[in-house]
Every structure is written in structure tokens, then in C-alpha cells.
Chain A
Amino acid sequence: MHTKPEGCFSEEPVVIKTEVLTKKYGKISAVDSMNLEVKEGEIFGLLGPNGAGKTTLISMLCTILKPTSGKAWVNGFDIVKDPGKVRKSIGIVFQSPSVDDLLTGRENLQMHNLLFGVPREIRKQRISEVLSIVNLEKRADDLVNTYSGGMRRRLELARGIMHHPKILFLDEPTLGLDPQTREHIWEYISDLAVKECMTVMLTTHYMEEAENLCDRIAIIDYGKIVVLDSPSELKNQIVGDVVKLKLRTPDTEALKKLEYVRKIEVKEGLLYLSIKDASKHLQDLLTHTGPIDFVEVRSGTLNDVFMHYTGREIREGEAEGGFWERMMKK
């Protein structure tokens, strides 16, 4: 778990703020009247299925997209009136790589240094620093078009943090990376968040990533925040433990009457019971179920929380499809 940096809170502890922020495409709201506050030094996760509006939200905060209505401030600057100052305060790692193919890794970083006004004296040092973090020192002078997908992503990440932004936006940053690199990168990001008072806003499909890293998580669906809290609170309040059952004569009505059963879902012939404390109540529960073919007990995850609120699962490891892709599926 990320430890909150101590003593870096300035007078304005809220670094990202949105007020009824809305982005419409035609009649459809990709982001719908969103109110949000993110505090300095926080690692804030946006979790949601494809097309929920995560990328649209981040694009607006990064001044790539203009909101249809509503307001937002990043590092105290209005995203519409002061985009230049917003851009100076932020680093971004895009979902689709934006590193330049025909330049070497090092040249990409050099260009970034110039564009983001990193002081001349520390440019070289910053470049070698970030290259070692993402483990690309040996390939730094090769053209990016010889890199694998994972390497591009790592380079993109190196670039995003190189100018030590106050706020770092990460849109599915570790998608397609091997677990080792993911861990390495997250370690570094939490470290940087503490040392530099950096605030991080990220979107991810990896539940465990969101769970382990984020101080707070907003679950987003259809452009709205469904729920917002710390991962542990989310899990405790809503899920507890999950008991998966296969019964010969399922009687959900009877089970619903048990006071420790919070919720029952039936999926593909299996019952999913949300239970406050399974170790305490399992014995009793089984006396009410009748003959059992199969039972499995596990502690709740964010995926369960997500299911609780949206009625479906987040499919892990899947890149965010376009907004339209989702509309087409409906």
C-alpha cells in the first residue's frame, strides 16, 4: 500500500477538481456531470469498463479535449482558460504509445526535455535516471521502431515522469507489460509520489494494481462516478467475503433471509453470496443450503465491488475500446 507523503501538503491540498464536468458526443455523454476532488500526493484510480469515460475524463484534464460544459482545475489552473499552465504541471502516459518511431529512445527523451523546459544542467542526468528505472539503458540508442510493444510503453513512461510533473496521468500505463516490469514501475511511481509530492491519477483494468496502489478509487460507469472510496473501505462495506456455491436445489429466497447474507447473484447455475464474515458464518450457512456439489470461499475483491455496482465484470487485460465500440455493441 502506498504510504501518504507527510508534510508536502501546501495551502491548496486539492490538486484536481472538477465541477459538473461534462463531455458530450452528440446526445451521448461520455463524461456526465462529474464532480471530483483529488488531493496532493494521492494515488487516485479510475476503474471502469470499456467506454466508461475514463480516457475522456483524463483527456479533458490534460487539455487535449475541451469539455462541453462544467469546469475543472488542475494544479489550481482552469483547464479551459489556462491550458498552458496546466500542461506545465502535468505528465501524461497515453494509452496508445506516442513515442516517435524514427527517433531513438534517447532522442525521444531529449526532445521531451526541450519541449517541457527541463533545465539544461540536469537534462543528461534525468535521461539516465529514467532510462535505468525502465531498464532501457542498453537500447536507448536504437530506433524506437525496433522496440517491442512493452519497451515502447516503458519509454513512454520514462518520458512522462522525466520532467518531474506535479501531477502524473497514466492511462492504462502497464497494459501489456510483464509482471516484473509492472512491479518495478509501480514501485518507482509510489516512491516518486512520496519524494516529489507527486499526485497520480491512473486508469487501469488490473484490479490488483488498483487495489494495491491506489489511495482512493472511483468506479466509473456511463460517464458517472458510481462510488468513490479507499479500496479497503470499498471492499469491507460492500463485499466482505464471497461464497461460490453449486446447489442441487437452490432456494435463494431462503438464503436471502439469513442476516449475514448481503447479496445473492446467480450466474451460470452458480450462486455467489456476499457474506460479511465467511469464516464465522460458513458452518451455519451450509446447514441452510441443502446438498452441495461445489463450494468455494474467497475474500472479496474490487471486481466484486465493481459487479455489485454495475452488475457486470471488468474484463482484465483488455484495452479500452473506443466509445463508439461500446455503442455499437448495444
Chain B
Amino acid sequence: MSEIEGIYAIWLREAKIYMREKERVISSIVSPLLWIFAFGAGVGSTIETIEGYNYQVFIYPGVIVMTVLFASLFYGVYIIWDRKLDFLKEVLVAPVSRASVFAGKVLGGATDAMIQVVFLLIIGLFISVPLTPLVIIKAFLMLLLISIAMVSIGLVIGANLKSPEGFTLVINFVMWPMFFFSGALFPVGNLSGWLYAVTFINPLTYGVDAVRGIILGTHQFPILLDVAVMFVFAVIAMGIGVLSFRRM
């Protein structure tokens, strides 16, 4: 009981702070809009269609996954700030387990990301993406799973680093390869040789595949496999996360 209240307390704090930092909300909405309207429309004007969809619609699932990926991974930097400003001490000396502290933080980060997802799903309705209520629910749940996995990775990195600058450096090495080799911007089936191989070991490939499959109906792997891979990846990431928090 008290563990659940502890998780709730930490989540509540994260949610409140997110809503109070307007810049965080605004910037996280603006950048996916740029991807959809500037990049999607721009590149889309030179490409006919991909798998029967115009380019803007084709990358829509990828852009949502990207938003989740960026927001979730970068969330790990707040743990460094919390520690720098000493806010973290209060939580670390509280009589709740580190697993609960970690769970609260993961939920807090996932909340940030999912608020952005809601905005993007609303925008999707206006650019002729085929969204039905069932599709929205399925996509939301899949994106939540991706978010939980990625927040965990971000927190692992944050818990093990001392400076926000270091965090930014490390996260760039994680984030960009994951993003580019996930098929978010182009179908990976056309890639050749080792590039194609890289996409197979990238867990985000399965996330993108699942979300695109749910929203557009085109996918490379069975969706159950996508979900299973992402689930296993999330569990491993959370396990490492709890261990990292115990050492803090």
C-alpha cells in the first residue's frame, strides 16, 4: 500500500512539474509538427507514394514514435538535475523501495510522452490518416509500451551520469542510430546488406513496425512479434533501471 502511494507521489510530482514548465510542453509539440508538415510535406512533394500512402501519411506513425522516443529518452536528464539541485535526496531517503521510485519516474516520463501522443493523434485526424477509435486505442497502448522502455533507458543513463552535458552526448549516440535505423522515415525493406541487418537488432524497428501496422495496416513483421520484442526489451530496460537506482 505505502509502495503504491510512493509511486503515486513521485508520478504526481513529475506530472505537475511537466504541466508547469510550459516550454517543455510547447517545444515537444512544435518539433513533431515540423517533421510532419515541413519535412513530410517537403520530401513528400518529390516522392509519389509509399505503399499506397502519400509520404506525409506514411511517416506519420514514424513521427509519433520519434516523438515518444525523444521525449522518453531525454526525460532521463531530469534525474541528473534533481540530483544536482538536491531534490532527489528527499526521495532517496524516503522509506519506499528504489523499485517504486523508479516506477514512479517511469510513469512520470511516460505521462510526458503520452500527452504529446494525444496532441499528435488529434493532428492525425486532420491530415487524412485513417484513424478509428479502435486504432487510436491500440496505437496508444503500443506507444505507451515503447515509451516505458525508452524512459527506462533514459533513466538508466541519467542515473549513471553526473552532468547534463554528458547526458546529452551519450543520449545522442543512442537516440539517432535508433531513430534512423528504425524505418520511421523510410521502409527498411529496401535497405541492403549490413544496413538491413542493423534494423533487425534495433528494438525500435519493431515499435515503428507495430505502430505503422496498427495505423496504416502495412507491416513487415507479425504485430504480435513486434509487441513481444518491445515487451521483452522494456522488461530488460526496467530491470537495469531498478539496479541503477539501487546504486544511487
Residues of A within 8 A of B (CB): 62-64, 84-85, 87-88, 90, 92, 94, 96-103, 107, 110-112, 114-117, 143, 159
Contacts and interface: CB of A to CB of B under 8 A. Distances in A.
Contact of A107 (B5, B16, B87): B16
Nearest to A102: B17
Interface stretch (B89-97, B116-124, B126-134): B89-97
Contact of A115 (B20, B21, B86, B94): B94
A96 B5 contact: no
18 contacts: A62-B93, A85-B95, A87-B94, A88-B95, A92-B93, A98-B88, A98-B89, A100-B13, A102-B17, A102-B20, A102-B21, A111-B13, A114-B6, A114-B9, A115-B95, A116-B94, A117-B95, A143-B20
A248 to B, nearest CB: 55
Contacts of B85: 101
Nearest to A87: B95
B89 A94 contact: yes
Contact of A63 (B16, B21, B93): B93
A115 B90 CA distance: 9
Contacts, number: 67
Secondary structure of the B side of the interface? helix
Given A87-B94, A87-B95, A115-B94, A98 B86 contact: yes
Given A63-B93, A107-B16, A98 B6 contact: no
B86 A111 contact: no
Contacts of B29: none
A117 B95 CA distance: 8
Given A97-B86, A101-B85, A110-B9, 11 more contacts: A62-B93, A84-B95, A85-B95, A98-B86, A102-B16, A103-B17, A111-B9, A111-B12, A115-B95, A116-B95, A117-B95
B108 to A, nearest CB: 12
A114 B90 contact: no
A99 B90 contact: yes
A169 to B, nearest CB: 10
A103 B16 contact: yes
A114 B5 contact: yes
Contacts of B86: 94, 96-98
Contacts of A115: 5-6, 9-10, 90-91, 94-96
CB-CB nearest 4 A-B residue pairs: A114-B9, A115-B94, A117-B2, A87-B95
Contacts of A97: 86
B180 interface: no
Contacts of A63: 93
Contacts of B140: none
Contacts of B16: 102-103, 107
Contacts of A116: 94-95
A281 B76 CA distance: 69
A213 to B, nearest CB: 24
B39 interface: no
Contact of B8 (A90, A114, A143): A114
Contacts of A84: 95, 97
Contacts of A100: 13, 17, 87, 90
A99 B88 CA distance: 9
A117 B5 contact: yes
Nearest to A86: B95
A159 B91 CA distance: 12
A117 B12 CA distance: 16
Interface string B57-92: 000000000000000000000000000011111111
Contacts of A92: 93
A103 B13 contact: yes
Nearest to A84: B95
A218 B3 CA distance: 37
Contacts of A85: 95
Contacts of A110: 9
A215 B91 CA distance: 31
A112 B95 contact: no
B15 to A, nearest CB: 11
Contacts of A101: 85, 87
Contacts of B87: 98-101
Contacts of B90: 98-100, 112, 115, 159
